[in-house]
Amino acid sequence: MPDFEHLIYEKPEEGIARIWLNRPEVRNAQDTELLSELNDAFDVARGDDGVKVVILAAKGPHFSAGHDLAEGGTRKAEAGRKRVTSWKGGAWDGAEAYYMREKEVYEGFCLRWRDLAKPTIASVHGKSIAGGLMLIWPMDFVIASDDASFQDNTMYMGIPGVEYFAHVWELGIRKAKEFLLTGQPITAEEAERAGMVNKVVPREELEEATLAFARTIADKPSFALKLGKDAINAAFSAQGFDNVQRGAFNAHHLAHTHYRLTADGSFLDPDFAKRFKPRAK
């Protein structure tokens, strides 16, 4: 078992693994370290025949504030980490460097976790913003507390959506456009109505409700669960997700590059940029 710094890994009951995001002081902002640890934790659960289902939950007031922009997309944090895509390697710089990094630690991880050969449940409370969605959408089920809200605010940064472009599959075309182009948050109830959330429960019941849901999966044969999940995930490909993801990821990087080439070198809206000043550690 790896030594996790940003996560807690536990087995609360037979057949169930639970991973807690544990950077509450920065609202579980995702730096490369946290994402790599999460990938390792999913691997621990996958390799443990005693685990049938995996819960991803979060400590602190919010599920996740998104990518840790204070990290600044450095390559240093990736050194020595397991690779999940075949994109990395060699000397690269400029737009290529940025593209490779996000292909690996954002898109690569999301696709890998979506296809993990065991059912996964996101247990979500508080706010989930931008990259926060990328820990939720790749999971198979979402149980949300009534205080939960979800937002893709990348449009404020001049970026057309987070790096995992599942908006349409999560919300349907009409609601996905509203979600992406207005950048406004939606409540747990709205997300449930749109089909993004399986169940909404009172905040104080979230932990137990998630465990209860997990039990209804953990009592089934592991091989059948894997096959059933894989059969439903095949619909992503059949519905064209792979092509949509490629196009959206490239558009995302066109926008990244555009704002790095323009006068201020970063964000479109300076007031918004101010709110994302690196935090004191």
Please report the DSSP string for 172-200 in residue order. Answer: -HHHHHHHHHH---EEHHHHHHHTS-SEE
Per residue in 220-247, is it b (16+ CB within 10 Å) or e — as a string? eebeebeeebeeeeeebeeeebeebbee
Q: How far is the CB of 67 from Zn ion (least distance, A)?
A: 8
Q: How far is the CB of 31 from Zn ion (least distance, A)?
A: 14
Q: Which is nearer to Zn ion, 31 or 102 (CB)?
A: 102
Report the interface residues with Zn ion, using CB under 5 A: 102
Q: How far is the CB of 256 from Zn ion (least distance, A)?
A: 6
Q: How far is the CB of 160 from Zn ion (least distance, A)?
A: 11
Q: Which is nearer to Zn ion, 98 or 236 (CB)?
A: 98
Closest CB to Zn ion belongs to which residue?
102
d(CA 36, CA 38): 5
How many CA atoms within 13 Å lie on the side-chain side of 177? Answer: 2
Residue reference for tokens 């890998």: 112
Q: Which is nearer to Zn ion, 78 or 102 (CB)?
A: 102
Q: Which is nearer to Zn ion, 57 or 166 (CB)?
A: 166
Q: How far is the CB of 246 from Zn ion (least distance, A)?
A: 15
Q: Which is nearer to Zn ion, 44 or 251 (CB)?
A: 251
Q: Which is nearer to Zn ion, 102 or 190 (CB)?
A: 102
Q: How far is the CB of 193 from Zn ion (least distance, A)?
A: 29
Q: How far is the CB of 149 from Zn ion (least distance, A)?
A: 22
Q: Which is nearer to Zn ion, 174 or 258 (CB)?
A: 258
Q: Long-range contact list for 246-255, CB < 8 A, 24+ apart?
A: 248/160, 248/161, 248/165, 249/102, 249/103, 249/107, 249/163, 249/165, 251/160, 251/161, 252/102, 252/159, 252/160, 252/161, 252/162, 252/163, 252/165, 253/95, 253/98, 253/99, 253/102, 255/158, 255/159, 255/160
